[in-house]
A and B are shown apart, each in its own frame.
Chain A
Amino acid sequence: MFFINLIVQLFIQFVDLYYIVIFLTNAKMKSSIIKKISMALSGLFLVIFLAQHLAINLTSIIPDGGKTFNTISHFMGYNPVVQFILQPILIFGVCFHFIMGFVLEYQNNQARNEKYIYHKTRSSWISKNMIITGLVILAFLGLHFYDFWVPEIEYKYISQESPDPLKYFHELKEKFYGETIRTIIYCFSFILLGMHLNHGLASSFQSIGVSSYRKKILKLAANIYSLIISIGFISIAIFHYFIH
């Protein structure tokens, strides 16, 4: 049963990658505006994912000994709809957003073959360096997968251990309590994630052509959202660093 699950998971990842390649090599994707829109839509999808991720993680600071957090985490880890439908869609969204980001960055670099000796434009650092904040988030994802996803795969498919609905809160505590370096790396990444979201969210509304009359309110919404995500995740990491 476990092996069948593993094979299904691997097959789904393969299908994800196949569709990303099909998507990117499609003739319609040659249009710069279609690329922008697909970047914006995949970003908006990840924005929704981050909101639910934060909501679940916030339950870990409820003083009930991790009961709520364990229940939700176990549901997310073993529910077939989450595992075989939502998770592959999420992996597709994440991979697509990163690959498209690199493709756009490469093409945009090609659009200026000779660089300026001295170039100083009136635009924010965040908006000009989405690739840097994006790369930091990618590196952070590597660490995050190493911390939580790899042990989960190992537990489920390699050791083939029976489901333990009480292990999640303990695992979370183990990763952060007294772990200074890991907590600092996580907090630093959350700051850059907030910066990335701040420009990315406002920018995605512009890319999908949302009315200019709502521009100010959408910018405000992007500011508030990015702050909530950033401060929310940082608070959770710091909470578990100090409190056993």
Chain B
Amino acid sequence: MDLTLKIWRQKKEYEKGAMHAYQIKNIEPDMSFLEMLDVLNQKLINDGVEPVAFDHDCREGICGACSLVINGAPHGPDSGTTTCQLHMRRFNTGDTIYIEPFRGSAFPVIKDLVVDRSAFDRIQQAGGYVSINTSGNTVDANATPIPKPDADEAFNSAACIGCGACVAACKNSSAMLFVGAKVSQYANLPQGKVESKDRVINMVKQMDKEGFGSCTNTGACEAHCPKEISTDNILTLNREYIKSKLNQ
């Protein structure tokens, strides 16, 4: 496959970036999208040009490190797929592919396609944890009975890998799907009840402080989420927030 790539290049955070066009030839349809970028980078290194910086780690769709907005869609054209699981057979020879970083004021570009997503870590630190006794009297998790529907719901929410595609897809750069998933995950479990009141208030406070927008229920986050996290999590977030505020 022969392709034209239009890639966002930016030297560092506060420098102005721009789209650069690259021609790439002989790409195998069975290559993953990131392998195609590896091939491009090898070519750039051989030509004496600085390679394109992009995030990646596990390359098997579970770590949430890979990002990229491909042809206008976070993680590319397929539903329920991370960038690393996207394959070149999804494209045709002669195609022009636009590759941009995840955009959001809370996700500043560090270099090229790499963005700083530590805002998510700070939200998680604000309340995304449970108090567990680790002093030698640790209770086995299975010793606490949990109704199957609640366990399933919590597991669905816990499937969020925190990649930030929800922010990238949302026209408001809202992080409410991420925060909703983290809040729902614990709200559905007895272990999460201890901090439930403060958790949601602190996480939302941190979310607002980071500069994310607010949800207008367009549903783009759910449509582009590689783990297909439902917007029902945002509903749970709203409900938990109202409950906590009323009980304050």
Contacts and interface: CB of A to CB of B under 8 A. Distances in A.
Contacts of A122: 73, 220, 223-224
B190 interface: no
Given A117-B19, A118-B98, A122-B73, A111 B216 contact: no
B217 A112 contact: no
B235 A32 contact: no
B103 A209 contact: no
Interface residues of A, number: 40
Interface string B185-225: 00000000000000000001101100111111111100110
A111 B106 contact: yes
Interface stretch (A15-23, A33-41, A157-165): A33-41
Contact of A121 (B8, B169, B231): B169
Contact of A116 (B103, B232, B234): B103
A231 interface: no
B71 A118 contact: yes
Contacts of A32: 174, 176, 204, 207-208, 212-215
Contact of A111 (B98, B173, B218): B173
B142 interface: no
B4 to A, nearest CB: 13
Contact of B237 (A33, A112, A210): A33
Given A128-B218, A207-B238, A209-B238, A113 B73 contact: no
Contacts of A123: 171, 218-220, 223
B25 interface: no
B150 to A, nearest CB: 14
Given A111-B106, A120-B71, A121-B223, A209 B208 contact: no
A208 B246 CA distance: 13
A107 B208 CA distance: 11
Contact of A202 (B173, B204, B217, B223): B217
Contacts of A25: none
A59 interface: no
B178 interface: no
A190 B109 CA distance: 43
A244 interface: no
Contacts of B223: 121-123
A111 B105 contact: yes
B224 A121 contact: yes
A127 B105 contact: no
A212 B109 CA distance: 36
A112 B219 contact: no
B217 A127 contact: yes
Contact of B215 (A34, A36, A115, A215): A36
A117 B214 contact: no
Interface of B: 6, 8, 19, 69, 71-73, 98, 100, 103-106, 109, 169, 171-174, 176, 204-205, 207-208, 211-220, 223-224, 230-232, 234-242, 245
16 contacts: A32-B207, A32-B208, A32-B213, A36-B214, A108-B174, A110-B105, A110-B211, A111-B172, A114-B103, A117-B8, A117-B100, A121-B73, A122-B220, A127-B219, A206-B234, A206-B235
Given A119-B72, A212-B230, 13 more contacts: A33-B242, A108-B171, A111-B105, A116-B100, A119-B69, A120-B72, A122-B73, A122-B220, A122-B224, A123-B223, A124-B218, A203-B216, A211-B235
